[in-house]
Amino acid sequence: MNALGRMEIRAAMLSDLLDAGGAPALLNDPNRPLLASMIAGQAAGQGCLPAHLGLGPARFSELLARLFPGTPVFLVRREIEEIPELDDLRKLLLDHRAHPGVSAEWMADIVATACAGRDHLWQDLGLANRDELSRLMRLNFKPLADQNVGDMKWKKFLYKQFCAAEGIYVCPAPSCGECADHPKCFGPET
């Protein structure tokens, strides 16, 4: 499939998802358009997430039923490597959750799963752009997102937080300002 085809599938799926009915409280959930973007991206073959986004089939079905009832969703079947740090990344996110809603739990699982990808985290998640990921992080994990004061690349930032919590120090320099790897951690995510 070429890039134009992917964009057409993405746009059609996104429109169908956002047009789905449902209870007003769920329609206004600010995570709804972000989840719709990830699902549309997965349907278009973007990102690295499996067809249940890392939630497992039962929880993903629950998500669809609650946020996008009645919308036919056809996702790309694919496997994703289960990384050994998956549970720790999930815990890091949940320890900093900004609200008690189930959508923060979904997001923690999905974001941790996407860390297995090889691209920038917003791309691995199948989102449309980095701004959507920044919004996701502030919306669901604000105490953690607020610590990213230098606007570090999100995947680098999560791993740096995880390593610091585990007492692992892998950075080659004592501070970011004097580090030769600075562009790798803070450069544009495009």
How far is 10 from 38, CA to CA, in rounded Å? 9
Minimum separation from the CB atom of position 116 to ligand SF4 (A)? 20
Task: Answer for the pair 10, 44: CB distance below 8 angstroms, yes or no.
Answer: yes
What's the Cα-to-Cα distance from 5 to each of 11, 58, 95, 127, rounded to whole Å? 10, 30, 39, 16
Please identify, using beta-carbon distances, which residue of 137 and 158 lies nearer to ligand SF4: 158
Q: Which stretch binds ligand SF4 (CB under 6 A): 79-87, 125-133, 136-144, 181-189?
A: 181-189
Q: Mark 150-179 with x for binding to ligand SF4 (rule: CB under 6 A) and - for no binding.
A: ----------x----------xxx--x--x
Minimum separation from the CB atom of position 30 to ligand SF4 (A)? 30
Minimum separation from the CB atom of position 89 to ligand SF4 (A)? 17
How far is 36 from 189, CA to CA, in rounded Å? 21
Q: Which stretch binds ligand SF4 (CB under 6 A): 4-12, 25-33, 86-94, 180-188?
A: 180-188
Among positions 68-97, residues that touch ligand SF4 (CB under 6 A) are: none
Task: Answer for the pair 127, 38: CB distance below 8 angstroms, yes or no.
Answer: yes
Please identify, using beta-carbon distances, which residue of 87 and 181 lies nearer to ligand SF4: 181
Helices (H), 44-187: 57-67, 86-94, 102-114, 121-124, 130-140, 142-145, 154-166, 182-186
How far is 64 from 57, CA to CA, in rounded Å? 11
Please identify, using beta-carbon distances, which residue of 83 and 171 lies nearer to ligand SF4: 171
- The DSSP 8-state label assigned to residue 20 in this structure reads -
Binding site for ligand SF4 (CB under 6 A): 160, 171-173, 176, 179, 181-182, 185
